[in-house]
Amino acid sequence: MAVGSLADAPKDLLSEIKHLEELFTIDTAKLKEISSHFEIELEKGLSVEGGTIPMNPTWVMSYPTGHETGTYLALDMGGTNLRVCQVTLTEQKSGFDIIQSKYRMPEELKTGDAEELWEYIADCLMQFIETYYGDSTKLDKIPLGFTFSYPATQNYIDEGILQRWTKGFDIAGVEGHNVVPMFQAALARRGVPIKLSALINDTTGTLVASGYTDPKMRIGCIFGTGCNAAYMEDCGSIPKLAYMNLPPDTPMAINCEWGAFDNEHKVLPMTPYDIIIDKDSPRPGQQAFEKMIAGLYLGEIFRQIMVDLYDNNEAHIFAGQDISKLRKPYSLDSSFLSAIEEDPFENLSETLGLFQDKLNISPNLPELELIRRICELIGTRAARLSACGVAAISRKKGYQSCHVGADGTVFNKYPHFKARVAAALCEILDWPDKTDPKEEDPIEILAAEDGSGVGAALIAALTLQRVKDGNMHGILHPENFS
């Protein structure tokens, strides 16, 4: 089959593509504007009045040294799976062993009843303990790091008052409440022998886990179902903690919750598709930045565009075909877009196969090329916007050169994501041209260590150690640390 190019596409499609390119392309000047505004918002979030970005202090008050030891449990309540890990931090510097089990997180639980959620989690933990530790009635309580990756106010490391659900979760009776007692009540009902040492965010876990093996790590990021970052701040730069009178140079990891950036829509170039996604989501007006970047939404942005091109425009794509499958909200996830961007064939035959299998639609060649271009536009926009956050934290902290640890399906699996973020960082921060193409970028984003497993265990270890050393700041239940 002759290889087509967009230049051969019918006129109507070409004008659609041009229009979409205008909507989704973010040039260097706009990137810089977004990133500068981001920096201001990071600062605001740390102030007493607060801002849109929550900038939650986490009571993680040091990086690991690499010499932490001990065995801990880690529980990760992710969007897709529930993961329980036994992590042993070994005598060898920065060493660890991990045993883990994954449990599916039933879809109904995400929008169901709080009690059922906690019961399910307690059951999974119990199952894990009985498998790997034996009779639970004969065990001393095991220290646990609980990765709860939603925005939570932490006046203490063993507390987490859910600010709001994100990533499509919508369980009544949890927002505004401390999730720890709910979780512990379910554990107590089943006699699960656990004491909670730390409630952590996946980004903080990523920062700490990556810092365990790489001393140049300064920022932990997740680009997955949701998106967010954490970094280490000095208490002297956190006005909202001034009342605690901590020495100004005390480190404090901040869970930025940057998904909330620009909820007031001052700088982000939202398209009509972003507006619909927000309006139809369980929390309209929240997570503006996340909804343009995170894996949960990339497929949905694409789907919205496709349906719009079929229904409303001159383009008449998929003429005469039944698009009922395409009409189902959230039926396409970011792996669908990844696969399209990865299609190695000039005639996009894999994309055709994907559309036929998943959606029962057979696009013609110009349509396939339109589809590929739309994926590129969505994926590139997500990467370039992500860079704005990384650049803002780096500038705020004066980091000229550092490593950023990143995790999540979009970072790990979405084609070209890393290179696109790196290119955008270079534009925002005006890096000079490299003399040797193999040279590292001044700020290099690298695949992180396992934040919600190893990171959670390390944070449990660091917290137990600091309590032992007499630093009781941000500890609600000292009895759990003896």
Which residues lie near ligand BGC (CB under 6 A)?
149-151, 166-167, 201-203, 222, 224, 226-228, 257, 259, 290
Find tokens 């990760």 and name the residue: 76
Cβ burial of 138 (10 Å; 0-12, 13-18, 19+) is: exposed
- Two tokens, residue 343: 């299609």
Please confirm, yes or no, whether 372 is among the known catalytic residues.
Answer: no
d(CA 348, CA 218): 40
Shortest reach from residue 220's CB to ligand BGC, in Å: 9
Shortest reach from residue 53's CB to ligand BGC, in Å: 11
Shortest reach from residue 214's CB to ligand BGC, in Å: 20
Sign of CA dihedral 471, 476, 479, 482: negative
70/282 with CB nearer ligand BGC = 282
Catalytic residue, candidates 76, 94, 164, 333? 164
d(CA 305, CA 23): 11
Shortest reach from residue 166's CB to ligand BGC, in Å: 3
Q: Select from 259, 262, 204, 195 the least CA-distant residue to 226.
A: 259
59/310 with CB nearer ligand BGC = 59
Which amino acid appears at position 88 of this protein? Answer: T
Q: Select from 100, 123, 103 the least CA-distant residue to 191.
A: 123
Q: Name every residue whose Cβ is closer than 8 Å to that of residue 117 and which is 6 or more positions away in sequence.
A: 109, 171
d(CA 285, CA 272): 14
Shortest reach from residue 196's CB to ligand BGC, in Å: 18
Residue whose Cβ sits closest to ligand BGC: 226
287/304 with CB nearer ligand BGC = 287
309/459 with CB nearer ligand BGC = 459
84/162 with CB nearer ligand BGC = 162
| Structure letter (DSSP) for residue 67 | -
Residues in a beta bridge with 356: none
193/220 with CB nearer ligand BGC = 220
| Phi and psi, residue 334, nearest 5° | -65, -20
User: Helices in 48-135 by DSSP H: which ranges?
Assistant: 107-110, 114-132
Q: Within a 10 A sphere around the Cβ of 236, how many other Cβ atoms? A: 14
Catalytic residue, candidates 35, 94, 149, 338? 149
Please confirm, yes or no, whether 164 is among the known catalytic residues.
Answer: yes
d(CA 464, CA 60): 11
Shortest reach from residue 238's CB to ligand BGC, in Å: 19
Please confirm, yes or no, whether 237 is among the known catalytic residues.
Answer: no
Shortest reach from residue 136's CB to ligand BGC, in Å: 30
Q: Within a 10 A sphere around the Cβ of 449, how many other Cβ atoms? A: 25
Q: Select from 369, 363, 380, 389 the least CA-distant residue to 298.
A: 380
89/390 with CB nearer ligand BGC = 390
Q: Cite the active site residues.
A: 149, 164, 202
